[in-house]
Chain A
Amino acid sequence: MAKITIPLGPQHPALKEPENFMLVLDGEQICDATVNLGYNHRGIEKAAENRNYIQDIYLLERICGICSHSHVSCYIGCVEEIAKVEVPQRAKAIRTLVAELERIHSHLLWLGVAAYEMGFETMFMYTWRDREQVLDCLEMLSGNRVHYGINTLGGVRRDINAQQAKEIIKKINYLEERTKYYVNLATEEPTVLARTQNVGKLPYKVALERNALGPTARASGVKMDVRKQEPYFIYDKLDFEMITYDSEDVFGRVVVRVLELVESYKIIKQVLSALPEGAISVKVPWKIPAGESVFRYEAPRGEDIHYVKSNGSEIPERVKVRAPTLSNFQSIPYMLKGDYLADVPITIAAIDPCMSCTDRAVVYDAKNGKTRTFDWEELRKYSIEFYKKKGVNFSTK
C-alpha cells in the first residue's frame, strides 16, 4: 500500500504555539512523524525587554492561561535572586498554595480533555464541573479565575484570612472525595484501559534521551520533579511524594496525574494548617542591580525554566522562557511511531499541550493525488468510530 503523508496543523492545538505534525501513514499505522514549530511567535521575550520589571509580571503571566502562576513565579524567582531579596515566609506559603491550586486545576482540566479525546464524555463533564471548585478558590484568594496576579516582586499581593482558609479546606475535602472516584474510574474502567494501555509508548531510556519532563517523564519511571530535586518556596518543609509509574504509556500518564492530585490536596492542607505569620511582601527597588539568574519551577506540565539578565536599569536586558511543552514535544514523534492514526489525539493530548484551537489536517493520497481535509473534531470522531469497531465503546456504558 502506498504511504500517505498527513500534515496535522499548523493551526493546531498543542503548546501555546500552533505547530505542525507530518505523519507518514502506512494504511492505518504511523511509520514516521515529524514536528514543525514556530507558527505562533508572539514576541513575548522581546516585549519583556521593553517593559519594566513590574509590567513584565503581567506580560509573562499571559504566556499561558493555565500555568499563569508558574511562569510568573519562575520569572519573579530570577528577579528576586538578582536583587537579593529575602521573601517573607508567609508570602512563600501563599505562593505554594496558589501553585498547588493551579496544579489541581490543570490536572483536572487535563483529565477532562483526555476523557473527551477518548470519547468518554461523561467523565469530561464531571471533571470540569469539579474543576470549578478550584477556580472558585483561586478567585476568592486572588481576585481572578485565570490570571490570578497574586505574585509581585518581593512577595504576594493579597493575604489570606481564616475564613478563606476554611472555605478552601471545605472545597478541597469535596475534591478529595471526588478524586478517589476518578482514581478508580481511570484505573479500572475497561474502556479507559483499552484506549490508553500500550498507546504512545515512551520507554525510560528514550524519555531521558528526548528530555521528557513532568508527568510525561514520571509515567516512564523517570524520577524528576523540581519540587523534590531543587525545592523552592516552602516545598522542602512539606511532606509529599513524587509520583512515578512505570507503564511508560498513556495509561501511566493518567495514573501519575490523578495521583498527583491527591498529593496536591495533601500539600494544600499542610500549608493551610501551618501558615507562617508575618508580612506578605517586602519592598523591591525599581532598578534591579546588574546580574543574571536562572530559576527552575515545576509547572503542572513539567519543568519550566526562566532566565533573566539585568543591567541595573528598571528594564530587564534579557528574559528567556523555556516552557515544558517544548521539551515534551521531542518525545511525540517517538510515541506516535507504530501506533494507529486513531491514537494520535490521545497521544498528543497525553503530554498535556493546550488544546485551544480546532485543528485541520489534510489527508493526501500519494497514489491518486487526492486530498481530504480532517479537522480535529473529525479526527476525534474517526478515532472513536475506529475503536467502536474494535469493541471499545463508551456510549453504552
Chain B
Amino acid sequence: MKRKPMRILPEALKQLFKKPATSKYPFEKAKLYAGYRARINFEVEKCIGCKMCMRVCPSKAIEIIPAENQPQPQIGPDGKPMPVKKIFNCIMNLDRCIYCAQCVEICPKKALAYTQDFELAQIEKKKLRLHYKN
C-alpha cells in the first residue's frame, strides 16, 4: 500500500481562504427549493367535507369540522328550499403534522396546499393548533 502522509495539509490551508460553508441562518434567510413542504394551507370555500384528507393523514393532524355559522337556507322561486353548500372548517395541529403533504395530494377540490412557511416554532402549545375558518 502506498503511503502519503500530510495529504490533508494543503487542503486545510486552501480552506482557510474560502468562505465558510455554514449558512448564516437565522441571521440570513434560509434558502429553500421551490417544492419545499411546510405549513399546510386550507381554503374554506373549496372544501366539500369529503374528509379524504383525514383518512390519509398518517399522524391524525388534520380535522375537518362543520363550520359554526352555516349559511341560512334560501327559499327558491318555486317555494322550496334551495340546496345550500355546507361549509367546513379545518383544524390543523402543527405539532402533529409531519408535513408529508399527502392530504394535499388526495384532496379532490384542491382545498389544501402546502406553503413555504417553515418557521412554526411556538412557545405556547395552543398556538400550534390552527383553526382555519370562514
Name B58-105 residues within 8 Å CB distance of A.
58-59, 98-102, 105
Which of A129, A139, A181, A187 has a CB less than 8 Å from the CB of B36? A139
Judging by beta carbons under 8 Å apart, are B6 and A397 in contact? yes
Answer whether A189 and B21 are a contact pair too, CB < 8 Å, given A52-B55, A140-B35, A157-B105. Answer: no
Q: Tell me if B33 and A187 are in contact (CB < 8 A).
A: no
Interface flags for A123-164 (1: CB within 8 Å of B; 0: not) read: 100100100100010011011100101001000011000000
Contact assessment for B8 and A132 in the assembled complex, using a CB-CB cutoff below 8 Å: no
A55 touches B8 (CB 8 A): no
Q: Give residues 31-55 of B contacting A (CB, 8 Å).
A: 32-33, 35-37, 55
Q: When chains A and B are docked, how far (Å) is the Cα of A149 from the Cα of B37?
A: 10
Q: Are A51 and B4 in contact (CB under 8 A)?
A: no
The chain B residue sitting closest to A167, CB to CB, is: B33
B8 touching A122, Cβ below 8 Å: yes
In the complex, the chain B residue whose C-beta lies closest to that of A185 is B7
Residues of A within 8 A of B101 (CB): 143, 149
Among B2, B37, B58, B114, contact of A55 (Cβ-Cβ < 8 Å): B58
Assess whether A22 is interfacial by the CB under 8 Å rule: no
Contact B7 A149, beta carbon cutoff 8 Å: no
B112 near A: Cβ within 8 Å? no
Counting chain A CB atoms within 10 Å of each CB, which of B4, B6, B7, B11 scores highest? B7
Q: From the candidates A55, A126, A136, A158, name the one contacting B11 in the complex (CB within 8 A).
A: A126
Name A183-208 residues within 8 Å CB distance of B.
Answer: 184-185, 187-191, 193
A59 at the B interface (CB under 8 A) = yes
Smallest Cβ distance from B51 to chain A, in angstroms?
14
Q: Which of B3, B11, B21, B102 lies in contact with A190, CB distance below 8 A?
A: B3
Nearest residue, chain B, Cβ from A247: B1
Task: Say yes or no: B36 contacts A144, CB within 8 Å.
Answer: yes
Q: Does B121 sit at the interface, judged by CB under 8 A? A: no
Tell me if A397 and B9 are in contact (CB < 8 A). yes
Shortest CB–CB separation between residue A89 and chain B, in angstroms? 22
Is A54 engaged at the interface, CB distance under 8 Å to the other chain?
Answer: yes
Cα distance A123–B8 in the bound complex, in angstroms: 8
| A193 to B4 CA separation, bound complex (whole angstroms) | 11
B120 close to chain A: CB less than 8 A:
no
Q: Within the complex, what minimum Cβ distance (angstroms) separates B131 from chain A?
A: 24
Given A52-B56, A55-B58, is A189 in contact with B8 using a C-beta cutoff of 8 Å?
A: yes
- Is A58 touching B7 in the complex (CB atoms < 8 A)? no
When distances are taken between beta carbons in the complex, the residues of chain B under 8 Å from A140 are 33, 35
Taking the closest CB of chain A, its distance from the CB of B29, in whole angstroms, is: 16
- What residues on B are CB-neighbors of A51 within 8 Å? 58
- Kindly provide the distance from the CB of B133 to the nearest chain A CB, expressed in whole angstroms: 26
Chain A contacts for B35, CB-based, 8 A: 140, 142-143, 158
Neighbouring A residues of B6 by C-beta, 8 Å = 397
Give the docked Cα–Cα distance between A193 and B3 (Å): 9
- Shortest Cβ distance from A123 into B: residue: B8
Q: How far is the CA of A59 from the CA of B98 in the complex (A)?
A: 10
Tell me which of A62, A139, A152, A185 contacts B8 (CB under 8 A).
A185
In the bound complex, residues from chain B placing their C-beta under 8 Å from that of A143 are: 33, 35-37, 101, 114
Q: 6 tightest A-B contacts by CB?
A: A58-B58, A55-B58, A143-B37, A143-B35, A188-B4, A140-B33
Query: Taking beta carbons and an 8 Å cutoff, which residues of B are in contact with A?
Result: 1-9, 11-12, 15, 21, 32-33, 35-37, 55-59, 98-102, 105-106, 114
> Interface on A for B, CB 8 Å cutoff?
51-52, 54-59, 62, 122-123, 126, 129, 132, 136, 139-140, 142-144, 147, 149, 152, 157-158, 181, 184-185, 187-191, 193, 397
| 17 pairs, CB–CB < 8 Å, chain A vs chain B | A52-B56, A54-B58, A54-B106, A56-B58, A58-B100, A58-B102, A143-B114, A144-B37, A147-B100, A184-B4, A185-B7, A188-B1, A189-B3, A189-B8, A193-B1, A397-B5, A397-B8
